[in-house]
Amino acid sequence: MPQVIQLKISLSDSDPLIWRTLLVAKDTTFFDLHNIIQAAMGWENAHLFEFKFKNQRIGEVGEEDEEEEEREILDATSIELGDVIKDQKCNFTYLYDFGDSWEHQIKVMKFPDFDHALKYPLCIAGKMSAPPEDCGGIVSFYASLEILNNPNHPAHADLLEWYGEEYNYEAFDLEETNKRLRMV
């Protein structure tokens, strides 16, 4: 019977905390988990990524890396979550966009029973909107929010146009998140 892992993914240094709780199959590859996180956060998958698990780095491996006898990074397409996640004490990090450095803490919450009525991956909870892609990292994101909240700031109109008038930092839409996950 397929197994499921419940993960809580939190964006480091966000305050209030931006997070998602996901149910994923244990045979999900780390590459697929990357795509799942992208969908859960509403990002565009436009940058490099890596997972750090204990002393291992798992991510995309280029041709030059495959030819090396001792690679620094393990291939995310060939390692399943179940290969490294053995118990609930497992925590690891996910880094997306090496320029903006969106670091996420990932905590294994539990191993719920597989439910044939559900389609995995599935988001079961979350809080706050993720920052927009390419906004400069967590510090720049919060600086932008201050400008967006100050209509008298000289950069307010430009940022409002870039973020979009519909952007709401405090919003989290579970149904929309799961729509995106169904497309992964």
Give how many domains the chain has, as a whole number: 1
User: What count of Cα atoms within 13 Å lies in the side-chain half-sphere of residue 1?
Assistant: 8
Q: Mean pLDDT, to the nearest integer, of 1-30?
A: 95
70 pLDDT above the threshold of 90: no
pLDDT, tens only, 152-179: 999 999 999 989 888 899 999 999 999 9
Q: Mean pLDDT, to the nearest integer, of 75-100?
A: 94
> For residue 164, is it within any domain?
no
Q: Mean pLDDT, to the nearest integer, of 127-144?
A: 94
To which residue do tokens 């191993």 refer? 111
To which residue do tokens 């090396």 refer? 68
With both helix axes pointing from N to C terminus, report the angle between 138-148 and 156-163 in degrees, rounded to the nearest 10.
120
> For residue 158, is it within any domain?
no
Give the Cα separation of 122 and 153 in Å (integer). 40
Q: Which domain holds residue 110?
A: 4-130+171-182
pLDDT grade for 9, boundaries at 50, 70 and 90: very high
> For residue 145, is it within any domain?
no
pLDDT grade for 68, boundaries at 50, 70 and 90: very low
> For residue 165, is it within any domain?
no
Output the domain CATH number for residue 122.
Answer: 3.10.290.30
> For residue 84, is it within any domain?
yes
pLDDT grade for 65, boundaries at 50, 70 and 90: very low
With beta carbons less than 8 A apart as the criterion, state whether 46 and 38 touch: no
Per-residue CA distances from 160 to 152, 153, 171 (Å): 12, 11, 17
> For residue 52, is it within any domain?
yes
| First-to-final CA distance of the chain | 22
> For residue 59, is it within any domain?
yes
Predicted confidence at residue 42, as pLDDT, reads 95
Q: What percent of the chain has pLDDT over 70?
A: 94
> For residue 119, is it within any domain?
yes
Q: For the stretch 145-163, what's the b/e string if a residue is b when 16 or more beta carbons lie within 10 angstroms of its beta carbon?
A: bebbeeeeeeeeeebeeeb
Give the Cβ contact number of residue 1 at 10 Å.
Answer: 6
With beta carbons less than 8 A apart as the criterion, state whether 148 and 166 touch: no
